[in-house]
Amino acid sequence: MNRELIERYATGADVLGKAIQGLDRAELLAFPVPGTWSIQQIVLHMMDSDLIASDRMKRVAAEDHPTLIGYNETAFAKTLAYDHIPAQDACEVFRLNRRITAELLRRLPDAAFSRTGHHNERGEVSLEHFVVDYTGHLDHHMKFVHEKRKLLGKPL
């Protein structure tokens, strides 16, 4: 396992909160790109996604070949009151969860990262794959947040 990847995952803890600094509620809820998520929805998606990721990584590390269940991110965004949860609170949950999960990952032996679970949609997935995937997931969504900020006249 490339331990630098864990550190890259860990440094993502502060990225989400920094990405929304200086935005008011109307800007968080705006749709500068029609047909896509608002910055607010991206923030809540990232919080939910990282909480689910943390659960998956812990289960793969601790349990023998656990079953991992997918979720419908569109249904979450549509039905879970994403527009009413304070974005700053979601960023803080994201930050703390990333910090704690990174510390747990740091303490695992290298062999743990080849452990797998069975995802009901993706099949066999290793712990290392989850670390790679969720590190990239944050990068992926931050591109959209930065673009939306530019369109709102609030570039970082």
- Between CA 59 and CA 48 the distance in angstroms is 17
CATH class, 3-117+142-151 region:
mainly alpha
Q: pTM for this structure?
A: 0.95
pLDDT tens, residue by residue, 36-94? 999 999 999 999 999 999 999 999 999 999 999 999 999 999 999 999 999 999 999 99
Annotated domain spans of the chain: 3-117+142-151
**In angstroms, rounded to a whole number, what is the distance separating the alpha carbons of residues 63 and 48?**
22
* pLDDT tens-place string over residues 117-132: 999 999 999 999 999 9
Cβ count near 94 (within 10 Å): 25
Partners of 124 in beta bridges: 118
Number of neighbouring beta carbons within 10 Å of residue 21: 11
pLDDT of the residue at 156: 87
d(CA 70, CA 7): 26
